[in-house]
Amino acid sequence: MKIFKDKKTLIKEIFNKKNIAFVPTMGSIHQGHLSLIKRAKKESKNVLVSIYVNPKQFNTSSDFKKYPRSESKDIALLRRANIKYLYLPNNNDIYSFRPKSRIYLDKFSKKLCGKFRPKHFKGVLNVINRFIEIIKPHSIFLGLKDFQQLNLIRLHLLKNKITTKIISCPTIRERNGFALSSRNKKLKNKQIKVAGKIYKYLKNLKQNVISTNLKERQLNAISKISLFGVKNIDYLEFINIKTLKPAKSIRENYNIFIAYHLGKIRVIDNL
């Protein structure tokens, strides 16, 4: 595994590589990340992983500072995963140039997490846009747990006619169904059990076709989840995954999207 800490040496190394498979991360590598890498390795022998905690996608400096970091452990895990390239840029490396493509922020960015984290998606698109310009990957591998983020990146690429291909990969979960995330490391076992209950409840709710009124389902679900001990639910919505608009019927192809708080940790999921 070759490690690069500045874009000039990285670009020199990969300049003639036409099939870079790119997996962007913010570190604290877990099985979800490793599943993306495994999928990327099926596409190309030239897998490039980045670790960069992007300050522009955090709404507060305190949240940025609290984000879990474990660079030495991450490097060891990535060596075992046998990737070809690891990029560890600093802020200046990423933000010291003006990218050719302008950020396109679709109106979908104002829904779901966008209502509660107004700076987040602009920050995500900013850094991904810059990574793509530096690396020029053939494909980028993103998890469906972050469905809203994935689709906003897809729409940005389409708008700017960027040819990098998005490969969407399944959400990887704990045994109890809780979606893996770097922030999970800060949760207590009791909180992880609550998250598992919420996943199982929502999974059963989606499979239950007895009640066809989605608004009624939504209100009942919020009440039920509150009984599990969750005091703060940012949203629980039924979104058509093709139109990206609220579903009106259970016959639509929709996912249940949720964001809630376990203590100080914000959890998102969709299923």
- Cα diameter, the chain: 60
Torsion of CA 156, 161, 165, 171, to 10 degrees: 10
Measured CA to CA, the distance from residue 256 to residue 177 in angstroms comes to 15
What is the rounded average pLDDT of the residues 253-261?
A: 97
Q: Which of 33, 120, 138, 156 is catalytic?
A: 33
For domain 2-169, is the CATH number 3.40.50.1360? no
Domain with CATH 3.30.1300.10 in the chain: 182-270
Active site residue 138: no
Domain with CATH 3.40.50.620 in the chain: 2-169
Strand duo 139-143 + 85-87: pairing: unpaired
Please name the amino acid found at residue 13. Answer: E
The model carries a pTM of 0.96
CATH class name, domain 182-270: alpha beta
Measured CA to CA, the distance from residue 17 to residue 29 in angstroms comes to 25
- pLDDT per residue as tens digits for the range 14-34: 998 989 999 999 999 999 999
Band (210; pLDDT cuts 50, 70, 90): low
Residue appearing with tokens 């389902």: 217
Measured CA to CA, the distance from residue 38 to residue 167 in angstroms comes to 12
